[in-house]
Amino acid sequence: MNIGEASARSGLPSKTIRYYEDIGLIRPDRNNNGYRDYAVADVHKLRFLQKSRGLGFSVEECRQLLALYEDKSRASADVKELTQAKLTEIDRKIRELSELRHTLEHLVHACHGNDRPDCPILEELSDEQHA
């Protein structure tokens, strides 16, 4: 199938599919005229990549997951380890965002938001003591 059909079947834009090919995540066959010829297995890999990216895995992590998926002698412990590392990273980001939210919430409550020029938010941002 051509790239348009692969795009429709996988739900990925053609540009993304070309990118995945450029970086070696997929390798469709080529017809005699040089056009890409995607197989059902390629579409399956594209969906796999789309789901993996949707779960927050980086391109390199997707490369590892795809290699593990294709390796029939893999140990599920390797897949779990990679996924656990992603979960740990997400938990760290959630903590950081929660701290940011708390700080911003404090600043918003400290500011009167009136017509006066004094603003605790700007004062906190320009505080040279924390630099």
**Tens digits of residue pLDDT in 100-111:** 999 999 999 999
Q: Extract the tokens encoding 79.
A: 């897949």
Whether the predicted pLDDT of 130 surpasses 70: no
The whole-angstrom separation of Cα 12 and Cα 59 is 15
Quick one: average pLDDT of 76-89? Answer: 97
- What was the pLDDT predicted at 113? 86
Amino acid at 26: I
Residue 30 and residue 66 in one domain: yes
Q: Extract the tokens encoding 128.
A: 């040279």
pLDDT-derived band at 87, boundaries 50, 70, 90: very high
pTM (2 decimals)? 0.79
Residue 68 and residue 81 in one domain: no
- What was the pLDDT predicted at 128? 60
Whether the predicted pLDDT of 62 surpasses 80: yes
Whether the predicted pLDDT of 117 surpasses 80: yes
Residue 47 and residue 79 in one domain: no
Residue 67 and residue 98 in one domain: no
Domain range for residue 126?
Answer: 75-131
More confident: 127 or 103: 103
Quick one: average pLDDT of 91-96? Answer: 98
User: Domain ends where: 73, 88, 112?
Assistant: 73
Domain count, the chain: 2
Whether the predicted pLDDT of 61 surpasses 70: yes
Residue 87 and residue 51 in one domain: no
- What was the pLDDT predicted at 118? 87
Residue 119 and residue 63 in one domain: no
